[in-house]
Amino acid sequence: MKILVRPFIVFSVLMLFVVPAASAGTPKDGIVFSDPLDRNTMLNGKEMRFDVGIGSGACRLASDPDGIIYTITDRGPNIKTQDALKLMGVDFGKKKGKIFPTVNFAPTIYKLRVADGHATVLDKIQIKTSDGQQISGISNPQTEAAWDINGKELPYDPSGIDAEGIVKLSDGSFWIGEEYGPSILHISADGRVLERWVPQGVKSTLDGAGYKVEEKLPAILRMRPLNRGIESMAASPDEKFLYFAMQSPLSNPDKAAYKKGRHLRIFKIDRQAGQVIGEYVYVIDTADTFVMDNKKKKRKQNDVKISELTAVGTDELVVLERISSTTKFYRVDLASGANILGTQWDDPSTTPTLEQSDIATVDTLDKKLLMNTDDRGGMMKKIEGLAWFGQDQWIMVNDNDFGIASDPTYIVPVSMPVN
């Protein structure tokens, strides 16, 4: 297996990077955030400019000073090959996969102070291998082909990750939900990967990764649809437990089940024991109820996904459910549903599968709606980051996809009840 080796962009730490407060078109009380990344000249001379997308996940450590949050980027700028002509002016023909215009981007954790209508970057922590080499966001062997802007196929990077959800612990380390694998990663305060958990049966495909890989996730998760892995990560207030959700229903037994299914899995981890101890069934809403997303065309059921979790108590979670323009926030208590870990629902030979089953036949979690952005006149698109400041105070951050479609990053304080 080829191991990807290349120089990486080294970001400077901007100790007093101040971003202006909201301007026209910004969500109410929001901040427009910008951190220019790179420029690329395409084959036909067209220039693309990228702005770092910091909002794939967000969290807050309760003991931190007021206004401090942590956010994370995903794998970096990427474009579907079929969109290359429209966005880049380059025809990739029948090649399938993702184009990485900035191949040397390293997924990065941002530490921000948000106060008085400004966002200040305090630190940038690039994610690294165990020996300190910065990793990439290039596809690993569990995903699709990768290309550079000149149409050259890139070798898979077994260390490569598509970082998404993030939680920080009081010891300074982070846990990150990852979309490729799917996987979760434990990361040191300085960004080194301490270990990566993958589903049973996956470890051998990541031979050559620059860190320890452990098969600690259920094998059934190998049936996730492409790029519909884990976008969320949360920790109980006492940090004894970790939680993550699959972004979408599994392709179990096939893509038809994923495309039509509404049963989605949430997991609980005993952090000290280092093992998954709980699995619960969450039912996503029907696509037609995401009103702002259905204005121009009817959305498909598989457009609905979970992009964030926040723990407001032990086994009490706020779930971010969205398409793009409409986002809903639900509170769930894991005690309201059955623990299905190790049951027939984790056995791929079960027929019908969990994803194919009728809603009434499965013991699912109760949901309580806390907010629907449609009821507030809408907010920014693709809200993926959610940091809780206690009581009813939150900060939300969107994923701007590195500005490929000229979308800005918004950091928005909001009031939302937790009960």
Residue 4 inside a domain? The answer is no
The full DSSP string for 180-235 is TTTEEEEE-TTSBEEEEEEETT-GGGGTT-SS-EEEEE-GGGGGPPTT-SB---EE
Instruction: Quickly state the pLDDT bin for 28 (edges 50, 70, 90).
Output: low
Report the pLDDT averaged over residues 131-155. Answer: 92
Residue 289 inside a domain? The answer is yes
- What percentage of residues in the chain have a pLDDT greater than 70? 93
Give the CATH number for residue 403.
2.120.10
Query: pLDDT, tens digit, for every residue of 338-365?
Result: 999 999 999 999 999 999 998 778 999 9
User: Which residue has 């990768």 as its token pair?
Assistant: 146
Query: pLDDT, tens digit, for every residue of 266-320?
Result: 999 999 999 999 999 999 999 999 999 999 999 999 999 999 999 999 999 999 9
Candidates 109, 141, 143, 131; CA nearest to 211 is: 131
Q: Which two tokens stand for residue 391?
A: 């009581």
Residue 1 inside a domain? The answer is no
The domain tally of the chain equals 1
Q: Is the pLDDT of residue 216 over 50?
A: yes
Residue 3 inside a domain? The answer is no
Query: 174, 166 in Cβ contact below 8 A?
Result: yes
Count of alpha carbons within 13 Å of 403, Cβ hemisphere only? 17
Range of the domain at 99: 17-415
Rounded distance between C-alpha atoms, residue 273 and residue 288, angstroms = 42
Residue 232 inside a domain? The answer is yes
User: What's the pLDDT at 20?
Assistant: 41
Rounded distance between C-alpha atoms, residue 158 and residue 198, angstroms = 12
Residue 12 inside a domain? The answer is no
Query: pLDDT, tens digit, for every residue of 175-213?
Result: 999 999 899 999 999 999 999 999 999 999 999 999 999
Residue 10 inside a domain? The answer is no
Residue 161 inside a domain? The answer is yes
Q: Which residues pair with 243 in a beta bridge?
A: 234, 268
Q: Is the pLDDT of residue 19 over 50?
A: no
